[in-house]
Structure 1
Amino acid sequence: MIVRLCPLLAAVIVVSGSGTAQAAAQPAPEIMAALGDSISTGFNACGWYVSCASRSWSAGDHREVTSHYLRLSKLSGTLHKHNLNFAVPGSTSADLLGQVKKAVAAKADYVTILIGAQDACAGTEQAMTPVPTYRRRLQAALAELRAGMPRARVLIASIPDLRRLWQVGRNNPLARTFWTLGRICPAMLANPISTRRADTQRRNRVRERVMAYNRAAAQECATYGPGCRTDGGAVFSYPFTLDHVSKWDYFHPSAAGQRVLARQTFEHGFDWIDPR
């Protein structure tokens, strides 16, 4: 969200260091970094099993997506071409600390984090990352970021609802084929046509795990302080359809899905000052 203010008023708000307006509206960043997994690399959004960083909801530069980077570039003369992407396909919460260290080394003053889908998308339900482990890893990553870049703004996006993916794709033969042959997110998507009680309960438990990750992330963000925002669950609750999913694997967001991610997270994240 963008708050338009005259340059003089914007300067007063930034310098004052206190007050509701200062907390609600932030100056645009100079360097931004996307952290997370394949979702933030734009994987399969423009080709067959490749990362499409230009389509990233966070740091991408393709006009079709209208990423955070493109939106914020209109407000900052220094952000142009300072859109870094340290996300890596397949990453779990265990990899977040290493990505944060790269963002700190790059002096990123705006960092987006979307991590946890791969923690839930394990080979089995039992292999999913425990919630306390997920929380500890996020705590360590945020502590590292706060120590290295104490004035950085951090946006933590909620993990998408994986059960929603099963619901919208279970009747599509191609989706079921990709999920089964590719062993995509088996904890949720195994036996996709089954409505047996055991499979239904398994899917519900995986969904509960994702919800628990999102709650833990929101709590750690609140502990971090005013420099951190979440999307308030906007990504998790968004009613996406197969039109928002890549037809290369029926799992990752398509360019249209990345555009939805960008809009939902930007509108529910920080308020940014437009000095024009």
Structure 2
Amino acid sequence: MRNRRHRSRAVVALATAALLGTATLTACDAQGGDSASPGGPSAHDKPSPRPTPAWDTSPRSLAAVGDSITRGFDACSVLSDCPEASWATGTDAEVRSLATRLLGKERAASHSWNLAKTGARMEDLPGQIEQAVTERPELVTVMIGANDACRSSAASMTPVGDFRADFTAAMRTLRSSLPKAQVYVASVPNLKRLWSQGRTNPLGKQVWKLGICSSMLADPDDLDAAASERRNSVRDRVVAYNDVLEEVCEKDRRCRYDGGAVHDYRFDGDQLSHWDWFHPSKDGQSRLAALAHRQITSRKPLP
């Protein structure tokens, strides 16, 4: 009898557990719980990450934002913009701009827009982006940051935190209106290398006295400890800006940083303006267009 009662209790316990289990599963399902449906993933499976959208290697429209480099400053005449020589949207056949390479000459004329401004700093980028989104481009090119380091003195350079906040705000503005637009972000050029290249040219040094990038170019032949420290502080700030550009861009699934290609490019005398020996010449603008085109037409980011 004792064994029979023991077996009866066991049967009752098993049946109760089965009923409770069924009720629990039913309750979870009714509430949209995480129980597995037939053939579906189990409750312990991790959700699949969102797939990275495929990079479009042939966008059909382009808006360029940035500073004097994108305006072709000093590429054609002294202290003047020359947008036809712009690496991004120019029409000069010698340059073969990015827009021309991607869209062809005729379409580039109607489907590319240069919204850069000479002298612009990162704080101006959100406003430029607001203008760009009205054109609804498929690709936005960004080249900005040199003027944040090129100030009247090294102490006046844009703080890295402010630089980051403004770039983040610009990307947020872009995404609120154009969630699927692609973005190409060029690194800030190596300003110290440009000083080293241009300081041997007498004409260039005379133009520098007019106030071009004083934090780096003032007293170009002064090599004492204080001048070297000043130039190195500008160099280091540019490196920090490029780190910000890369980090913020990496958080956006449709943003591609150039991997430091512009910063690492060694502009020589032929690629620098023969007016100021600091901004790119037409040849230099063409090299920038080629660097951008190579990155944008690659299915994966290039090292």
Q: TM-score range by the shorter chain?
A: 0.7 to 0.9
Structure 1 residues 1-276: aligned runs within 5 Å: 23=54, 25-26=55-56, 28-74=58-104, 81-180=110-209, 182-225=210-253, 227-271=254-298
- The one-character-per-residue Cα deviations of 1:15-69 (angstroms, maximum 9, x if unpaired) are xxx978x63x515223211100010011121223221111111111222112110
Give the Å deviation of 1:80: 5.1
Q: Which residue of 2 aligns with 1:3?
A: none
Equivalent residue letter for 1:157: A
Higher relative contact order (CA 8 A, sep 6+): 1
**What number of residue pairs does the alignment pair up?**
251
2:29 corresponds to which residue? none
**Conserved 8 A contact 1:26-1:271:** no
Distance 1:77 1:52, change over 3 A: closer
Q: Is the 8 A contact 1:73 1:80 kept in 2?
A: no
d(CA) in 1 for partners of 2:223 and 2:107?
53
On the 8 A contact 1:65/1:259 being kept in 2, the answer is yes
Q: Report the Cα distance in structure 2 between the residues aligned to 1:127 and 1:269, rounded to whole angstroms.
A: 34
SS in 2 for 1:84: strand
- Aligned-pair CA distance for 1:179: 1.1
Instruction: For residue 248 of structure 1, report the CA deviation from its aligned partner.
Output: 1.9
- CA apart distance, 1:78: 5.7
Shift of 1:214: 0.6
TM-score normalized by structure 2? 0.78
* Kept after mapping to 2: 8 A contact 1:59/1:68: yes
Find the aligned partners of 1:36 and 1:255 in 2 and give their Cα distance: 18
**Counterpart position of 1:12:** none
Deviations 1:240-264 (A, max 9, x none): 1122111222221110110111112
Equivalent position of 1:13 in the other structure: none
Between the aligned partners of 2:246 and 2:126, the Cα distance in structure 1 is 18
CA offset digits 1:75-96 (Å, max 9, x no partner): x986552110000111001110
Q: Is the 8 A contact 1:32 1:69 kept in 2?
A: yes
Unaligned runs of 5+ in 1: 1-17
One-letter identity of the residue aligned with 1:189: L
Bigger radius of gyration: 2
Length-normalised TM-score, structure 1: 0.86
Matches of 1:219 and 1:77, distance apart in 2:
36
Encode CA deviations 1:184-221: one digit per residue, 9 max, x unaligned.
10100111001101111111110010111011000000
Kindly indicate whether the alpha-carbon contact (under 8 Å) linking 1:234 and 1:268 is maintained by their aligned counterparts in 2: no
Matched residue of 1:146: which SS? helix
The answer to whether the 8 Å contact 1:231/1:269 transfers is no
Question: What is the SS of the residue equivalent to 1:47?
Answer: coil
**Aligned equivalents of 2:57, 2:269: Cα separation in 1:** 36
Measured at CA, do residues 54 and 179 of structure 1 come closer, stay the same or move farther in structure 2, by a change above 3 Å?
A: same
SS at match of 1:98: helix
* Contact 1:155–1:230 (CA under 8 A) maintained in structure 2: yes
Structure 2 CA distance, aligned partners of 1:269 and 1:137? 24
The Cα RMSD (Å) is 2.0
- What's the % identity of the aligned pairs? 42
Q: Secondary structure at the match of 2:141?
A: strand
Ranges in structure 2 where 5+ consecutive residues have no aligned partner: 1-49
